[in-house]
Amino acid sequence: DGFLNFRTVTCLFNSTKADDIAYIDSYYLNKLKIISFDSRVGKFVGYTEFGVSNAKRWNEGPEVTRTRNEKERYCVHNVGLDYRTGLAKS
């Protein structure tokens, strides 16, 4: 009994160039994706009624600007590190 709530953050990349990196932040409830941010789209998208209402609110507030900056802070930085320490040596 209870609820399963989780979040995934993914960096998709083909190279270390910022233009080739996508930041995806997704929220799930009971294994169902309810809302997601994709840096290629540049805004939150809702997949359920609850997700659509939250996406609208988050896209009008400071959350969308903060999340847009996460690509640089999280993905671009870490992809560069991962590439230098692992991928380039394999």
- For the residues of 2-53, what is the DSSP string, one character each? ---EEEEEEEEESSSSGGGEEEEEEEEETTEEEEEEETTTTEEEESSHHHHH
Q: Is residue 89 part of a domain?
A: no
Distance CA 42, CA 51 (A): 16
Average pLDDT over residues 74-89: 80
Binning pLDDT at 50, 70 and 90, where does residue 90 land?
A: low
**What total of structural domains would you count in the chain?**
1
Residue range of the domain that includes 13: 5-84
pTM of the entire structure? Answer: 0.84
Q: Is residue 53 part of a domain?
A: yes
Provide the token pair at 42. 């540049």
Average pLDDT over residues 71-76: 91
**What's the Rg (C-alpha) of the chain?**
15
Binning pLDDT at 50, 70 and 90, where does residue 80 land?
A: confident
Rounded to 5°, the CA angle 46-39-82 comes to: 125
CATH at 51: 3.10.320.10
pLDDT attached to residue 12: 92
Q: Is residue 90 part of a domain?
A: no
pLDDT tens-digit profile of 5-39? Answer: 999 999 998 888 889 999 999 999 999 999 999 99
